[in-house]
Chains A and B, each alone.
Chain A
Amino acid sequence: MSDVKAKTAVRLGLSHLFIIALGLAMLYPIVWMVVSSFKPNNMIFSDTGLIPKALTLENYITGWKGYAGTSFGRFFLNSLAMCAVAIAGNLISCSMAAYAFARLKFAGRSLWFAVMMATLMLPGHVTLVPRYILFNRFGWVGSYLPIVAPKFLATDAFFVFLLVQFIRSLPKDLDEAAIIDGCSQVGVFLRIIVPLAQPAMVTTALFTFLWTWDDFFNHLLYLTRPETFTVSRALRTFVGDAGAVSNWGGALAMSTLSVVPCFILFFALQKYFVQGIATTGIKG
């Protein structure tokens, strides 16, 4: 018996070792990016090791200055503001739609629900050009509106679906009791569903933040002036087309800074993360 135990212990120990080794190999590029951002510019590529021979904050100072007279401070503020508005939009519009689908009975419900599920899989490209033409006609190109306004119209069907699933799992007794007590359906939504759906709302807010923060395509299409650039859009110009930029230290430093918010949120809100992925299989 002890022989079996010893065998199991060895096997588990080996698993631990293997997982740790593989994990380190996978994280190596990211760790290297962080470490290199503190190395003097001329040593970044000559030194492949993780322990820098000299440490400096110079990359952060030069990188932060940004370009075209706009500092990364501005880019970060732009990104944060855009994310905040996008989160508000998604929370309001997606939870409203989800409440209707999950709890209310109405003509056409199954049809609209099927339509919503179909849009879940729809590649965005087919709507890309007309949306651009439409937003251009509105005079919105160059502003944040083409990126944040659709969030108020629940265009991210993933979150509607996530919230529908969650609301369906809530016990119905509370709504029914509230209705009997004279609460309206709006009241049920605001006083019962929204508070109880907190976990799914956090997941929605979290993924909205990450996707808006990391999004590049829409920022490339719609943001035209450097002072409106978000971090992801600014990083791209900072590096340049052919990567000919001489300040690679600055680029790595700003790249490192750009992933810090995602890191913090990921580790602070881990359980919501797993929940979000497990219930909807969110892309990535």
Chain B
Amino acid sequence: MRHLLGIEDLSREEVVRLLDTAEAMLEISQREIKRVPTLRGRTVINLFLEPSTRTRVSFEIAAKRLSADAVNVSAAGSSLSKAETLADMARNLAAMNADVLVVRDRTAGVPQMLAERVRVPVINAGDGAHEHPTQGLLDAFTVRQALGGIEGRSIAIVGDIAHSRVARSDVHVFTKLGAEVRLAGPPTMIPVGIEQLGVKPCSSLDEALDGADVVCMLRIQQERLEGALFPGVREYARCWGLTRARLARARPDAIVLHPGPINRGVEIASDVADSEPSRILDQVTNGVAVRMAALYLLTGADS
């Protein structure tokens, strides 16, 4: 495993390895001295061409817990194409002598295109609507932590599937680990051909929640209103928002995930987000552990 560009390309063994390694990393995060010397002297460059505070901070903490130096390069608001070509970007990064590149971009394919042009491992921190592999992994880790396993479980993913890289990574990771994955959302937000990924599209939220072990709620973005994709947050909340009442259709011990940040009262009701079934804060903690695992495993096979 030279890069972590997407979960689609990983074998089941590689996924399990990442999760098992994350277990050890989680323990480090719980110590008083939250640091091990493993990546001492290595440089991690966080190339965030799409702004993000949460994911970037998570990667930064992960790098520092492994004693690596984290450097943030952002190009907020400007797209790659206005700034420079991929080849130029790759050359500049190479000149900085980084050991790992963590890349986020608002369009799909950029981490892969950079990985083809640089000589260091690349971690995809989210590329357009394509994948967000560390999010998928931390979601899987959280489910494994809460329920003991993933095989045979029913997992409902709800929301704007078409534009969600989190949804795609979740679909890949959960199907690879043997869960039944159901998708639900407004018809305008279910992408063409999604059944080919081995998931079960549901026509309503209730159908998806019925007997589910895990409910992943996706964030609905205001910008989607412009594309005439749905009429507004009020109707969205009525039809697709997760409330206590609707959650009752899931299994009694079902857990709730959300990649954050949450739109309270839209896709998820406040009382659900703050209650027992919610593992949203665990996701954040586990995110650091999973990213530490990714940094650790990818920096191994070099000379």
Question: Real complex partners, A and B?
Answer: no
A residues sitting closer than 8 Å to B (CB atoms) are: none
B residues sitting closer than 8 Å to A (CB atoms) are: none
